[in-house]
Amino acid sequence: MNAFADQLLVLVMLINLVMLGSSRLIFSIRAVAAQGVILGILPGLIHPFSGHLAAITAGIILAKGILIPYLISDAVRKAQIRREVEPFLGYVPTLLLGAVFTALSFAFAEKLPLAPEHKDLLFVPASIATLLTGFLILTTRRKAISQVIGYLVMENGIFIFGMLLTEAMPVMVEAGALLDLLVGIFVMGIVINHISREFSSLDTSRLRTLKEE
Amino acid sequence: MLFALILLPLAGALVAWIVPDNRLRPLILPVMGSIHLVLTVLLLGNTPAPSAGGWIWLDPLGKVVLLCISLLFVVCAFYAVGYLSYRQERSNRILCTGLLVCLAAMGLVTVSQHLGLLWVALETTTVSMAPLIYFNRNARSIEATWKYLLICSVGIGLALLGLLFLAYSTYVAQRDATLLLGPLMASARDLNPGWLHAAAIFLLVGYGSKMGLAPLHTWKPDAYGEAPGLVGALLAGGLVNCAFLSILRVYQICLASGIEIQFFQKSLLGMGLISMAFAAVFMARQADFKRMLAYSSIEHVGILAIGLGLGGGAIYGALFHLLNNGLTKGVLFLSSGNIHRSYSNKTTDVVKGALTRLPWSGGLFLAGFIAITGSPPFSPFISEYTIVSSAFIDGHHLVGGLFLLFLVIVFIGMALTVLPMVMGAPPADIEPTDYRDRLLTVGPPFLMMTVILVLGIWPPAFLVTLLRDGAAMLGVQP
């Protein structure tokens, strides 16, 4: 099953690159949703079956695959915007940076003192690559919705690392983390709505009245 | 009893959500706040055994933070009734509900012995505070809310990664992977040092951004500047201390590991000094007095970090300062909220002569300023003196010297803003507002100021014991 898990992780990293190269917001949201579903399947592939595991799989797919993407696309629909325009850094440079980051995360993961049974798996490089992709989106895009997507990708990266520890993390904590994430995105969706009403735009570079004179 | 600390405010939040009347709803806050304070006092006197498999317990460190939060909340709750009577033009449903949810989450932070649960509770405080910063519903406050929400969420996300690293360090060391504080500290010496080091960095960055330590403080002036006074008070006295408690938990583990603690202390010292320096620079000529209070908060989280980083006797000072800073910030934010209401402006261009126009609020603001800058006889003087004297006793002359220098610069910078605000005659052409000093808006901060004065002159014996117990948990020899 480990080979299948690795193939899925490669898919996660490809989705990262696809998101970096795309300007259509709905497309990015679907890509994040697909990542969420893959994240839900992964723990089942590397850990023996248990009730705990089933609960986590269901929780992740429900939260990251369905509810959160729904909340964000709802915000997109209400704000009536389709594309990310003029990011701070163009699509091709970010895509190249994303590829470089992915390569670097493989090199970095080689050096980490991992437990022997995790040495041959792609979990750690995929986690670092996804985390860095999230940061890249967060810092180079202007639209508030793109920034939320970046935050989600970053969280996905953290979750991939957490997969190695599924047995150690109590289900209460995982459920709490997912719930907090969900409510956080919900509040962000509301805030996005108000930003678009207040500024008639979702361009966060317009959020600059508050600064030191 | 420990569960009541969390469940009662949640029940209160539900009631606040259901009650339809805008004038009746704020009354739930003081009721809940008073019950919470009674519960806290009972719990401080007679602590129940750990429950829920050791996940929930109130240790001395949790007690100090809980005491501060409970005192601050009850004062803010009574104040809220008076404040919201001036803000009947908009619904306070979200504000009241959010405050109570946040109280429950802060309570959970203080009793969590499981680092994962602590993380969940801390993230809940972040999310529940976000709508409250947006109470005024204008372009400026939405900007502040967005920055707060995004920076704190990303920061807390990094802290989660740090927690996973910590769990992984137990896994690599072939221990039962756990995030329970007790077992983690017991096995800390055998943890994999590389992963522990990474965990300490990520946790410090994550919780540090939530606490507002420089250079991760950028959201703070905006959020504190735009939030209503009572929300600012809870951010500066409640959420900051919750984040500090989380850092204390990491400190406990680093201390138990024996090797990691030196790096952690050095990082805390560095971030603390940078925070004080930032605050000193930006405090000068700050025209917006609420933003000035935000920089003061950055200064004081710096002081807390330095106290912790110095170790030894300074830790006692840091724990005492946690309480003093929380309460004094409460007085400052609440009285500045009154001044803001009365002048309907928060810049020093318009706000002048507050002592004449609002003798009580102006006086409290002035007293709060004197206290927060570390002047005797108020209690922040005692805690800051403890930290700086133990810095010199332990031979950290550079840190002690810089600490004093920054304190002086901050004092001058803050005085340049505060003194023109409260002294002199109010300008003749300000538009009249319906705000007047009344018992409910002035009484609560006045009581808190009295507490600060009493703590400075005669700290009660139970508090001294509590602080000593807390310091002993952080490696201070009694």
Burial status of residue A7 (CB atoms within 10 A of its CB: 0-12, 13-18, 19 or more) = exposed
**Cα–Cα distance measured from residue A108 to residue A57, given in angstroms and rounded to the nearest whole number:** 29
Q: How far away is chain A from the Cα of B308, in angstroms, using its nearest Cα?
A: 28
Higher-confidence residue of A63 and A50: namely A63
Residue A207 has pLDDT above 80, yes or no: no
| Domain ranges within chain A, ordered by starting residue | 2-201
**Cα–Cα distance measured from residue B8 to residue A145, given in angstroms and rounded to the nearest whole number:** 36
Q: Which among B150, B112, B105, B109 has a CA at the least distance from the CA of B128?
A: B105
pLDDT at A89: 84
pLDDT at A87: 79
Q: Is residue B478 in a domain?
A: no
- Find the CB nearest B130 among A167, A177, A187: A187
> Per the CB < 8 Å rule, is B146 touching A115?
no
Q: Which of residues 144 through 163 in chain B touch A, CB cutoff 8 A? A: 144-147, 149-150, 153-154, 157, 160-161
Residue A211 has pLDDT above 80, yes or no: no
Burial status of residue B463 (CB atoms within 10 A of its CB: 0-12, 13-18, 19 or more) = middle
pLDDT at A213: 54
**Which pLDDT tens digit goes with each residue over A109-165?**
888 888 877 888 888 999 999 999 999 998 888 888 888 899 999 999 998 888 888
Q: Is the CB of A120 inside 8 Å of chain B's CB atoms? A: no
Q: How far away is chain A from the Cα of B96, in angstroms, using its nearest Cα?
A: 17
Helix (H, G, I), strand (E, B) or coil at B48: coil
Q: Distances from the Cα of A79 to the Cαs of A75, A143, A191, in angstroms?
A: 6, 11, 11
CA-atom Rg of chain B in angstroms: 21
Q: How many domains does chain B have?
A: 1
Residue A175 has pLDDT above 80, yes or no: no
Q: Distances from the Cα of B233 to the Cαs of B74, B151, B340, B438, in angstroms?
A: 12, 20, 14, 19
* CB-based contact A68:A182 (threshold 8 Å): yes
Cis upstream peptide for B377 (omega within 30°): yes
Q: How far away is chain B from the Cα of A180, in angstroms, using its nearest Cα?
A: 6
pLDDT at A1: 67
* CB-based contact B342:B353 (threshold 8 Å): no
Helix (H, G, I), strand (E, B) or coil at B56: strand
- Find the CB nearest B143 among A112, A165, A209: A209
The β-bridge partners of B112 are B56
**Cα–Cα distance measured from residue B356 to residue B425, given in angstroms and rounded to the nearest whole number:** 7
Q: Is the CB of B263 inside 8 Å of chain A's CB atoms? A: no
**Cα–Cα distance measured from residue B317 to residue B305, given in angstroms and rounded to the nearest whole number:** 11
Which of B125, B126, B169, B171 is the best residue to mutate to test the A interface, defined by the most A CB atoms within 10 Å of its own CB? Answer: B171
At a CB cut-off of 8 Å and minimum separation 6, what does A97 contact? A20, A89, A136
Q: Which of residues 285 through 314 in chain B touch A, CB cutoff 8 A? A: 287
pLDDT at A212: 65
- Find the CB nearest A191 among B145, B195, B287: B145
pLDDT at B431: 77
**Cα–Cα distance measured from residue B167 to residue A177, given in angstroms and rounded to the nearest whole number:** 16
How many residues make up chain B in this entry? 478
- Find the CB nearest B150 among A147, A164, A213: A147
The β-bridge partners of A143 are A203
- Find the CB nearest B161 among A158, A168, A188: A158
Residue numbers of the domain that contains B265: 4-473
> Per the CB < 8 Å rule, is B139 touching A158?
no
* CB-based contact B267:B162 (threshold 8 Å): no
Question: Which residue ranges in chain B fall short of pLDDT 70?
Answer: 478
**Cα–Cα distance measured from residue B385 to residue B367, given in angstroms and rounded to the nearest whole number:** 19
Q: Which of residues 88 through 107 in chain A touch B, CB cutoff 8 A? A: none
pLDDT at A44: 82
Q: Which among A159, A160, A152, A154 has a CA at the least distance from the CA of A188?
A: A152
Q: In the numeric block, which tokens belong to residue B163?
A: 């927690």
Residue of A nearest to B286 (CA): A212
Q: Virtual CA dihedral for B39, B41, B47, B48, nearest 10 degrees?
A: -20
**Cα–Cα distance measured from residue A105 to residue B92, given in angstroms and rounded to the nearest whole number:** 48
**Which pLDDT tens digit goes with each residue over B356-394?**
888 999 999 999 999 999 888 899 999 999 999 999 998
Q: In the numeric block, which tokens belong to residue A75?
A: 């915000």
Which pTM was predicted? 0.94
pLDDT at B354: 87
User: At which residue do the structure tokens 């209160």 appear?
Assistant: B12
Q: Distances from the Cα of B136 to the Cαs of B124, B141, B228, B268, in angstroms?
A: 22, 7, 8, 35
> Per the CB < 8 Å rule, is B157 touching A151?
yes
* CB-based contact B302:B281 (threshold 8 Å): no
**Cα–Cα distance measured from residue B182 to residue B174, given in angstroms and rounded to the nearest whole number:** 17
User: Residue A75 — very low, low, confident or very high, per pLDDT cuts 50/70/90?
Assistant: confident
pLDDT at B478: 65
pLDDT at B28: 93
Q: How many CA atoms lie within 13 A of B384 on its CB side?
A: 23
